[in-house]
Amino acid sequence: MGLTITEKILARAAGRGAVEPGDILRVKVDLVMGHDVTLPLSILELGRMGAARVFDAGKVVAVSDHFAPASNVKAAEQIKAVRDFARDQGLVHHFEPGCGQSGVCHALLPEEGLILPGYVVVGADSHTTTYGALGAFGTGMGSTDIAAAMALGETWLRVPQSLRLYYHGQPGRWICGKDLILHTLGRLSVAGAIYKAMEFCGPVIEKLAMSDRFTMCNMAVEAGAKNGIIAPDATTEEYLKGRVTGAYEPLTSDSDACYAVTYDFDCQDLEPQVAFPFSPDNVRPVQDAAAVAIDAVIIGSCTNGRLEDLRVAGEILRGRKVARGVRLIVIPATQRTYLEALKEGLLEVFAEAGAAVGTPTCGPCFGGHMGLLAAGERAVSTTNRNFVGRMGHPESQVYLASPAVAAASAVLGRIAHPEEVAD
Protein backbone atom coordinates (compact mmCIF):
# COMPACT_ATOMS: atom_id res chain seq x y z
CA MET A 1 0.00 0.00 0.00
CA GLY A 2 1.34 3.42 -0.96
CA LEU A 3 1.65 6.45 1.27
CA THR A 4 0.26 9.97 1.10
CA ILE A 5 2.59 12.94 1.15
CA THR A 6 1.59 13.67 4.76
CA GLU A 7 2.37 10.08 5.81
CA LYS A 8 5.73 10.20 4.06
CA ILE A 9 6.77 13.44 5.75
CA LEU A 10 5.81 12.15 9.19
CA ALA A 11 7.45 8.76 8.62
CA ARG A 12 10.69 10.44 7.65
CA ALA A 13 10.60 12.82 10.62
CA ALA A 14 10.03 9.82 12.89
CA GLY A 15 12.83 7.84 11.30
CA ARG A 16 10.47 5.12 10.09
CA GLY A 17 9.94 3.45 6.76
CA ALA A 18 6.18 3.52 6.79
CA VAL A 19 3.35 4.70 9.00
CA GLU A 20 -0.41 4.29 9.11
CA PRO A 21 -3.17 6.66 10.12
CA GLY A 22 -3.63 6.39 13.88
CA ASP A 23 0.03 5.69 14.62
CA ILE A 24 1.42 7.95 17.29
CA LEU A 25 4.92 9.09 16.46
CA ARG A 26 7.71 10.99 18.02
CA VAL A 27 8.94 13.32 15.27
CA LYS A 28 11.81 15.75 14.89
CA VAL A 29 10.63 19.26 14.10
CA ASP A 30 12.38 21.39 11.51
CA LEU A 31 10.93 24.70 12.66
CA VAL A 32 9.01 25.93 15.72
CA MET A 33 7.15 29.25 15.57
CA GLY A 34 5.51 31.44 18.16
CA HIS A 35 4.14 35.00 18.02
CA ASP A 36 3.51 37.90 20.35
CA VAL A 37 0.22 36.46 21.68
CA THR A 38 1.26 32.82 22.25
CA LEU A 39 5.01 33.00 22.75
CA PRO A 40 4.95 34.77 26.13
CA LEU A 41 3.05 31.76 27.57
CA SER A 42 5.49 29.31 26.01
CA ILE A 43 8.37 31.31 27.48
CA LEU A 44 6.85 30.86 30.96
CA GLU A 45 6.45 27.10 30.42
CA LEU A 46 10.01 26.84 29.13
CA GLY A 47 11.10 28.36 32.44
CA ARG A 48 9.05 25.81 34.41
CA MET A 49 10.59 23.05 32.30
CA GLY A 50 14.02 24.27 33.34
CA ALA A 51 15.04 24.71 29.71
CA ALA A 52 17.81 27.29 29.72
CA ARG A 53 18.23 27.14 25.94
CA VAL A 54 15.99 26.29 23.03
CA PHE A 55 17.08 23.20 21.11
CA ASP A 56 18.38 25.17 18.13
CA ALA A 57 18.52 28.96 17.93
CA GLY A 58 18.24 28.71 14.15
CA LYS A 59 15.04 26.68 14.21
CA VAL A 60 12.97 28.59 16.71
CA VAL A 61 11.28 31.57 15.09
CA ALA A 62 9.74 34.49 16.97
CA VAL A 63 7.38 36.85 15.15
CA SER A 64 5.72 39.91 16.61
CA ASP A 65 2.80 40.45 14.29
CA HIS A 66 -0.54 40.37 16.12
CA PHE A 67 -0.38 43.55 18.20
CA ALA A 68 2.76 44.98 16.63
CA PRO A 69 3.50 47.83 16.26
CA ALA A 70 2.33 47.83 19.87
CA SER A 71 -1.29 48.92 20.06
CA ASN A 72 -1.26 49.48 23.83
CA VAL A 73 1.03 49.16 26.82
CA LYS A 74 0.19 45.53 27.59
CA ALA A 75 0.99 44.63 23.99
CA ALA A 76 4.23 46.59 24.22
CA GLU A 77 5.21 44.45 27.23
CA GLN A 78 4.41 41.22 25.37
CA ILE A 79 6.34 42.30 22.30
CA LYS A 80 9.24 43.24 24.55
CA ALA A 81 9.10 39.80 26.21
CA VAL A 82 9.41 38.24 22.76
CA ARG A 83 12.26 40.59 21.83
CA ASP A 84 14.15 39.86 25.07
CA PHE A 85 13.66 36.12 24.63
CA ALA A 86 14.96 36.28 21.06
CA ARG A 87 18.01 38.26 22.19
CA ASP A 88 18.77 36.07 25.23
CA GLN A 89 18.43 32.88 23.20
CA GLY A 90 20.33 34.30 20.26
CA LEU A 91 17.49 33.43 17.88
CA VAL A 92 18.55 33.80 14.28
CA HIS A 93 15.03 34.69 13.18
CA HIS A 94 13.18 37.34 15.12
CA PHE A 95 10.81 39.62 13.26
CA GLU A 96 9.22 42.84 14.38
CA PRO A 97 7.77 45.77 12.45
CA GLY A 98 10.31 48.54 12.16
CA CYS A 99 13.28 46.17 12.52
CA GLY A 100 13.88 45.12 8.93
CA GLN A 101 11.88 42.28 7.46
CA SER A 102 8.64 41.68 9.29
CA GLY A 103 5.01 40.79 8.75
CA VAL A 104 2.26 38.33 9.49
CA CYS A 105 3.93 35.05 10.46
CA HIS A 106 2.33 32.72 7.90
CA ALA A 107 3.02 35.08 5.01
CA LEU A 108 6.47 35.96 6.30
CA LEU A 109 8.10 32.58 6.98
CA PRO A 110 7.67 31.17 3.45
CA GLU A 111 8.71 34.50 1.95
CA GLU A 112 11.89 34.49 4.03
CA GLY A 113 12.72 31.03 2.71
CA LEU A 114 12.31 29.37 6.10
CA ILE A 115 9.88 26.69 4.91
CA LEU A 116 11.10 23.84 2.73
CA PRO A 117 9.14 20.98 1.18
CA GLY A 118 9.11 17.99 3.53
CA TYR A 119 9.60 20.08 6.67
CA VAL A 120 7.66 19.42 9.88
CA VAL A 121 6.67 22.83 11.24
CA VAL A 122 4.77 23.36 14.48
CA GLY A 123 3.49 26.75 15.52
CA ALA A 124 1.59 28.20 18.42
CA ASP A 125 -1.05 29.36 15.99
CA SER A 126 -3.80 27.39 14.30
CA HIS A 127 -3.06 28.72 10.80
CA THR A 128 0.35 27.02 10.80
CA THR A 129 -1.41 24.78 8.22
CA THR A 130 -0.46 27.46 5.63
CA TYR A 131 2.99 25.93 5.08
CA GLY A 132 1.44 22.86 3.47
CA ALA A 133 1.30 24.95 0.29
CA LEU A 134 5.03 24.29 -0.07
CA GLY A 135 4.64 20.56 0.51
CA ALA A 136 5.58 20.85 4.19
CA PHE A 137 3.64 19.49 7.16
CA GLY A 138 2.46 22.40 9.30
CA THR A 139 0.13 22.24 12.27
CA GLY A 140 -0.91 24.38 15.22
CA MET A 141 -0.62 23.52 18.90
CA GLY A 142 -1.09 25.01 22.36
CA SER A 143 1.58 27.04 24.14
CA THR A 144 2.74 24.17 26.39
CA ASP A 145 3.24 21.86 23.41
CA ILE A 146 5.21 24.54 21.62
CA ALA A 147 7.36 25.12 24.71
CA ALA A 148 8.21 21.40 24.76
CA ALA A 149 9.04 21.42 21.05
CA MET A 150 11.29 24.45 21.59
CA ALA A 151 13.06 22.65 24.43
CA LEU A 152 13.43 19.22 22.84
CA GLY A 153 13.34 19.75 19.10
CA GLU A 154 10.68 17.12 18.81
CA THR A 155 7.02 16.53 19.42
CA TRP A 156 4.50 13.73 19.29
CA LEU A 157 1.95 13.47 16.50
CA ARG A 158 -0.78 11.07 15.53
CA VAL A 159 -0.73 10.26 11.83
CA PRO A 160 -3.93 11.68 10.34
CA GLN A 161 -6.14 10.06 7.74
CA SER A 162 -5.97 11.97 4.48
CA LEU A 163 -8.80 13.49 2.47
CA ARG A 164 -8.21 13.86 -1.25
CA LEU A 165 -9.75 17.04 -2.65
CA TYR A 166 -9.67 16.99 -6.42
CA TYR A 167 -10.38 20.17 -8.42
CA HIS A 168 -11.03 20.18 -12.16
CA GLY A 169 -12.68 22.31 -14.85
CA GLN A 170 -11.75 25.74 -16.15
CA PRO A 171 -12.42 28.37 -13.47
CA GLY A 172 -13.50 31.83 -14.63
CA ARG A 173 -11.41 35.00 -14.62
CA TRP A 174 -12.18 36.13 -11.08
CA ILE A 175 -11.92 32.77 -9.33
CA CYS A 176 -8.93 32.46 -7.00
CA GLY A 177 -7.74 30.21 -4.19
CA LYS A 178 -10.04 31.95 -1.73
CA ASP A 179 -13.12 31.02 -3.76
CA LEU A 180 -11.96 27.43 -4.03
CA ILE A 181 -11.38 27.03 -0.31
CA LEU A 182 -14.60 28.83 0.67
CA HIS A 183 -16.53 26.61 -1.71
CA THR A 184 -14.79 23.59 -0.17
CA LEU A 185 -15.70 24.72 3.35
CA GLY A 186 -19.30 25.16 2.29
CA ARG A 187 -19.35 21.55 1.19
CA LEU A 188 -17.31 19.95 4.01
CA SER A 189 -18.48 22.18 6.91
CA VAL A 190 -16.32 23.32 9.80
CA ALA A 191 -16.25 19.76 11.12
CA GLY A 192 -15.67 18.07 7.77
CA ALA A 193 -11.97 17.40 8.14
CA ILE A 194 -11.51 17.15 11.89
CA TYR A 195 -8.23 15.51 12.68
CA LYS A 196 -7.51 14.85 9.00
CA ALA A 197 -5.02 15.94 6.38
CA MET A 198 -6.60 17.87 3.49
CA GLU A 199 -4.65 17.13 0.34
CA PHE A 200 -5.53 19.52 -2.49
CA CYS A 201 -4.87 18.23 -5.99
CA GLY A 202 -6.10 18.07 -9.59
CA PRO A 203 -5.59 20.16 -12.72
CA VAL A 204 -6.91 23.36 -11.13
CA ILE A 205 -4.47 23.11 -8.23
CA GLU A 206 -1.60 22.33 -10.59
CA LYS A 207 -2.23 25.63 -12.39
CA LEU A 208 -2.71 27.59 -9.19
CA ALA A 209 -0.18 30.29 -8.22
CA MET A 210 1.70 29.94 -4.93
CA SER A 211 -0.24 32.78 -3.31
CA ASP A 212 -3.53 30.95 -3.96
CA ARG A 213 -2.09 27.71 -2.65
CA PHE A 214 -1.12 29.47 0.59
CA THR A 215 -4.69 30.77 0.91
CA MET A 216 -6.15 27.28 0.55
CA CYS A 217 -3.82 25.57 3.03
CA ASN A 218 -4.25 28.51 5.42
CA MET A 219 -7.99 27.85 5.70
CA ALA A 220 -7.75 24.05 5.89
CA VAL A 221 -7.95 24.51 9.64
CA GLU A 222 -11.38 26.10 9.18
CA ALA A 223 -12.64 22.60 8.31
CA GLY A 224 -10.98 21.29 11.48
CA ALA A 225 -8.05 19.78 9.57
CA LYS A 226 -4.74 18.96 11.19
CA ASN A 227 -2.90 20.09 8.08
CA GLY A 228 -3.51 21.14 4.50
CA ILE A 229 -1.05 20.10 1.83
CA ILE A 230 -0.23 20.43 -1.85
CA ALA A 231 2.43 18.35 -3.60
CA PRO A 232 5.48 20.39 -4.61
CA ASP A 233 5.86 20.94 -8.37
CA ALA A 234 7.46 23.38 -10.83
CA THR A 235 5.47 26.28 -9.33
CA THR A 236 6.80 25.44 -5.87
CA GLU A 237 10.33 25.18 -7.20
CA GLU A 238 10.05 28.53 -8.93
CA TYR A 239 8.90 30.11 -5.65
CA LEU A 240 11.75 28.57 -3.68
CA LYS A 241 14.41 29.59 -6.17
CA GLY A 242 16.58 32.31 -4.68
CA ARG A 243 14.76 32.08 -1.37
CA VAL A 244 16.10 28.90 0.16
CA THR A 245 19.64 27.70 0.43
CA GLY A 246 19.42 24.17 1.84
CA ALA A 247 18.73 21.09 -0.25
CA TYR A 248 15.33 19.47 -0.05
CA GLU A 249 13.72 16.37 -1.39
CA PRO A 250 10.13 17.02 -2.45
CA LEU A 251 7.73 14.26 -1.51
CA THR A 252 4.51 13.40 -3.30
CA SER A 253 1.72 10.91 -2.68
CA ASP A 254 1.94 7.44 -4.20
CA SER A 255 -0.68 6.59 -6.80
CA ASP A 256 -1.97 3.77 -4.58
CA ALA A 257 -2.01 5.86 -1.38
CA CYS A 258 -5.03 5.37 0.84
CA TYR A 259 -7.56 8.18 1.41
CA ALA A 260 -10.44 8.26 3.87
CA VAL A 261 -12.62 10.13 1.34
CA THR A 262 -12.12 11.69 -2.09
CA TYR A 263 -14.10 14.83 -2.92
CA ASP A 264 -14.53 15.98 -6.47
CA PHE A 265 -14.95 19.70 -7.25
CA ASP A 266 -16.03 20.89 -10.67
CA CYS A 267 -14.78 24.49 -10.91
CA GLN A 268 -16.15 25.15 -14.40
CA ASP A 269 -19.05 27.43 -13.43
CA LEU A 270 -17.92 28.37 -9.98
CA GLU A 271 -18.91 31.92 -8.99
CA PRO A 272 -16.92 34.04 -6.54
CA GLN A 273 -17.79 32.80 -3.06
CA VAL A 274 -18.73 34.66 0.10
CA ALA A 275 -18.90 33.27 3.65
CA PHE A 276 -21.79 34.92 5.50
CA PRO A 277 -21.67 35.58 9.24
CA PHE A 278 -20.87 33.82 11.54
CA SER A 279 -19.05 30.84 10.17
CA PRO A 280 -16.50 30.24 7.40
CA ASP A 281 -18.67 27.36 6.12
CA ASN A 282 -21.76 29.56 5.70
CA VAL A 283 -20.85 30.00 2.05
CA ARG A 284 -22.91 31.20 -0.92
CA PRO A 285 -22.16 32.58 -4.38
CA VAL A 286 -21.51 36.32 -4.42
CA GLN A 287 -24.79 37.02 -6.23
CA ASP A 288 -26.69 35.92 -3.11
CA ALA A 289 -24.94 38.68 -1.17
CA ALA A 290 -25.38 41.46 -3.73
CA ALA A 291 -27.94 43.35 -1.63
CA VAL A 292 -25.74 43.51 1.46
CA ALA A 293 -24.64 47.09 2.18
CA ILE A 294 -21.30 47.46 3.93
CA ASP A 295 -19.43 49.90 6.16
CA ALA A 296 -15.88 48.62 5.82
CA VAL A 297 -13.60 46.57 3.62
CA ILE A 298 -10.42 44.98 4.90
CA ILE A 299 -7.79 43.59 2.53
CA GLY A 300 -4.87 41.85 4.18
CA SER A 301 -3.90 39.00 6.58
CA CYS A 302 -2.06 35.70 6.22
CA THR A 303 -4.94 34.52 4.04
CA ASN A 304 -4.97 37.25 1.37
CA GLY A 305 -2.43 39.99 2.07
CA ARG A 306 0.19 38.90 -0.46
CA LEU A 307 1.47 40.86 -3.45
CA GLU A 308 -0.72 38.92 -5.90
CA ASP A 309 -3.76 39.75 -3.77
CA LEU A 310 -2.88 43.42 -3.76
CA ARG A 311 -2.38 43.37 -7.53
CA VAL A 312 -5.89 42.04 -8.07
CA ALA A 313 -7.33 44.64 -5.72
CA GLY A 314 -5.25 47.33 -7.42
CA GLU A 315 -6.53 46.32 -10.84
CA ILE A 316 -10.09 46.94 -9.70
CA LEU A 317 -9.38 50.08 -7.68
CA ARG A 318 -7.16 51.83 -10.22
CA GLY A 319 -8.76 55.14 -11.13
CA ARG A 320 -11.78 54.47 -8.92
CA LYS A 321 -12.88 55.72 -5.53
CA VAL A 322 -14.09 54.00 -2.42
CA ALA A 323 -17.87 54.43 -2.17
CA ARG A 324 -19.15 57.19 0.08
CA GLY A 325 -19.76 55.89 3.58
CA VAL A 326 -17.38 52.97 3.20
CA ARG A 327 -13.85 52.78 4.58
CA LEU A 328 -11.21 50.63 2.95
CA ILE A 329 -8.23 49.38 4.93
CA VAL A 330 -5.39 47.72 3.05
CA ILE A 331 -2.65 46.00 5.03
CA PRO A 332 0.12 44.31 3.05
CA ALA A 333 1.01 41.10 4.91
CA THR A 334 4.75 41.65 5.01
CA GLN A 335 7.36 44.38 4.69
CA ARG A 336 8.62 42.93 1.40
CA THR A 337 5.08 42.94 0.04
CA TYR A 338 4.68 46.52 1.22
CA LEU A 339 7.86 47.59 -0.54
CA GLU A 340 7.00 45.74 -3.77
CA ALA A 341 3.50 47.21 -3.75
CA LEU A 342 5.06 50.62 -3.25
CA LYS A 343 7.43 50.15 -6.20
CA GLU A 344 4.65 48.87 -8.44
CA GLY A 345 2.54 51.88 -7.63
CA LEU A 346 -0.16 49.82 -5.92
CA LEU A 347 -0.03 51.72 -2.66
CA GLU A 348 -0.58 54.89 -4.66
CA VAL A 349 -3.61 53.33 -6.34
CA PHE A 350 -5.06 52.46 -2.93
CA ALA A 351 -4.29 55.86 -1.45
CA GLU A 352 -5.80 57.61 -4.51
CA ALA A 353 -8.91 55.50 -4.11
CA GLY A 354 -9.21 56.80 -0.56
CA ALA A 355 -7.97 53.75 1.34
CA ALA A 356 -6.05 53.74 4.60
CA VAL A 357 -2.89 51.74 3.94
CA GLY A 358 -1.35 50.18 7.02
CA THR A 359 2.00 48.80 8.02
CA PRO A 360 2.19 44.98 8.00
CA THR A 361 0.35 43.45 11.00
CA CYS A 362 -2.50 41.04 11.82
CA GLY A 363 -4.33 44.12 13.06
CA PRO A 364 -8.10 43.87 12.62
CA CYS A 365 -8.10 40.19 11.48
CA PHE A 366 -8.45 38.92 15.04
CA GLY A 367 -10.03 42.06 16.47
CA GLY A 368 -6.68 43.37 17.66
CA HIS A 369 -6.25 46.90 16.35
CA MET A 370 -6.15 49.14 13.27
CA GLY A 371 -9.73 49.18 12.10
CA LEU A 372 -12.14 47.23 14.31
CA LEU A 373 -15.88 47.15 13.73
CA ALA A 374 -18.50 48.88 15.87
CA ALA A 375 -21.86 47.35 16.85
CA GLY A 376 -24.09 46.93 13.82
CA GLU A 377 -21.30 47.47 11.29
CA ARG A 378 -20.82 45.14 8.37
CA ALA A 379 -17.54 44.41 6.64
CA VAL A 380 -16.18 42.44 3.72
CA SER A 381 -12.83 40.99 4.67
CA THR A 382 -10.21 38.90 2.91
CA THR A 383 -9.30 37.22 6.23
CA ASN A 384 -10.21 33.69 7.34
CA ARG A 385 -12.66 33.80 10.25
CA ASN A 386 -15.98 35.53 10.73
CA PHE A 387 -17.00 34.21 14.13
CA VAL A 388 -19.10 36.38 16.44
CA GLY A 389 -16.98 39.34 17.50
CA ARG A 390 -13.88 38.19 15.63
CA MET A 391 -13.11 41.60 14.15
CA GLY A 392 -14.70 43.86 16.72
CA HIS A 393 -18.03 44.25 18.48
CA PRO A 394 -20.05 41.03 18.97
CA GLU A 395 -22.87 42.67 17.03
CA SER A 396 -20.70 43.44 13.99
CA GLN A 397 -20.78 41.17 10.95
CA VAL A 398 -18.02 39.94 8.69
CA TYR A 399 -18.38 38.52 5.18
CA LEU A 400 -15.31 36.62 4.00
CA ALA A 401 -14.33 36.93 0.35
CA SER A 402 -11.49 37.20 -2.16
CA PRO A 403 -9.48 40.40 -2.74
CA ALA A 404 -11.35 40.91 -6.04
CA VAL A 405 -14.77 40.78 -4.37
CA ALA A 406 -13.51 42.95 -1.51
CA ALA A 407 -12.17 45.63 -3.87
CA ALA A 408 -15.31 45.66 -6.01
CA SER A 409 -17.44 45.90 -2.87
CA ALA A 410 -15.41 48.87 -1.66
CA VAL A 411 -16.18 50.70 -4.91
CA LEU A 412 -19.90 49.95 -4.93
CA GLY A 413 -20.54 50.16 -1.18
CA ARG A 414 -22.23 46.78 -1.18
CA ILE A 415 -21.06 43.25 -1.76
CA ALA A 416 -20.30 43.01 -5.46
CA HIS A 417 -19.09 40.70 -8.18
CA PRO A 418 -15.76 41.98 -9.58
CA GLU A 419 -17.19 42.08 -13.10
CA GLU A 420 -19.68 44.73 -12.01
CA VAL A 421 -16.75 47.09 -11.62
CA ALA A 422 -13.78 45.93 -13.67
CA ASP A 423 -13.37 46.57 -17.38
Regarding 144 and contact with other proteins (CB under 8 A), the answer is yes
Phi and psi torsions of 263, nearest 5°: -110, 140
Query: In this chain, which of 133, 286, 365, 372 binds ligand SF4, going by CB under 6 A?
Result: 365
C-beta closer to ligand SF4: residue 93 or 127: 127
Query: In this chain, which of 50, 100, 242, 319 binds other proteins, going by CB under 8 A?
Result: 50
Site string for other proteins, 220-249 (x = CB under 8 A): ----x-x-----------------------
The least CB distance from residue 26 to other proteins, in Å, is 6
- Give the number of other CB atoms < 10 A from CB of residue 407: 34
* Residue 389 CB burial class (10 angstroms; 0-12, 13-18, ≥19): middle
Regarding 128 and contact with ligand SF4 (CB under 6 A), the answer is no
Residue 142 interacting partner from other proteins, ligand SF4, none (CB closer than 5 to 8 Å by kind): other proteins
Interacting positions 44-73 with ligand SF4 (CB under 6 A): 66
Q: How far apart are the C-alpha atoms of 251 and 231, rounded to whole Å?
A: 7
Regarding 330 and contact with ligand SF4 (CB under 6 A), the answer is no
The least CB distance from residue 362 to ligand SF4, in Å, is 3
Q: How many CA atoms lie within 13 A of 368 on its CB side?
A: 20
The least CB distance from residue 267 to other proteins, in Å, is 29
Q: Which strands make up the sheet holding 197-201, listed edge to edge?
A: 227-229, 197-201, 162-168, 261-266
168 - beta bridge partners?
266
Query: In this chain, which of 15, 90, 156, 376 binds other proteins, going by CB under 8 A?
Result: 156
What dihedral angle (degrees, nearest 10) is formed by the CA atoms of 149, 101, 81, 90? Answer: 60
Q: How far apart are the C-alpha atoms of 270 and 370, rounded to whole Å?
A: 33
Nearest residue to 178 (alpha-carbon basis) of 382, 378, 395, 414? 382
Interacting positions 161-200 with other proteins (CB under 8 A): 191, 194-195
C-beta closer to ligand SF4: residue 282 or 301: 301
Q: How far apart are the C-alpha atoms of 354 and 238, rounded to whole Å?
A: 35
28 - beta bridge partners?
154
Rounded to the nearest 5 percent, the helix, strand and coil shares of the chain are 35, 20, 45
Residue 76 interacting partner from other proteins, ligand SF4, none (CB closer than 5 to 8 Å by kind): none
Nearest residue to 168 (alpha-carbon basis) of 196, 143, 132, 200? 200
Query: In this chain, which of 126, 189, 252, 279 binds other proteins, going by CB under 8 A?
Result: 126
C-beta closer to other proteins: residue 51 or 292: 51
Contact 371, 299 (CB under 8 A): no
Regarding 394 and contact with other proteins (CB under 8 A), the answer is no
Contact window for other proteins (CB under 8 A) among 147-155, 240-248, 283-291, 400-408: 147-155
Query: In this chain, which of 143, 211, 235, 301 binds ligand SF4, going by CB under 6 A?
Result: 301
Q: How far apart are the C-alpha atoms of 417 and 65, rounded to whole Å?
A: 31
Contact window for ligand SF4 (CB under 6 A) among 150-158, 221-229, 282-290, 361-369: 361-369
DSSP-derived 3-state class of residue 357: strand
Regarding 366 and contact with ligand SF4 (CB under 6 A), the answer is yes
- Total chain residues near other proteins (CB under 8 A): 25
> What residues make contact with other proteins under the rule CB under 8 A?
24, 26, 45, 48-51, 126, 140-145, 147-148, 151-152, 156, 158, 191, 194-195, 224, 226
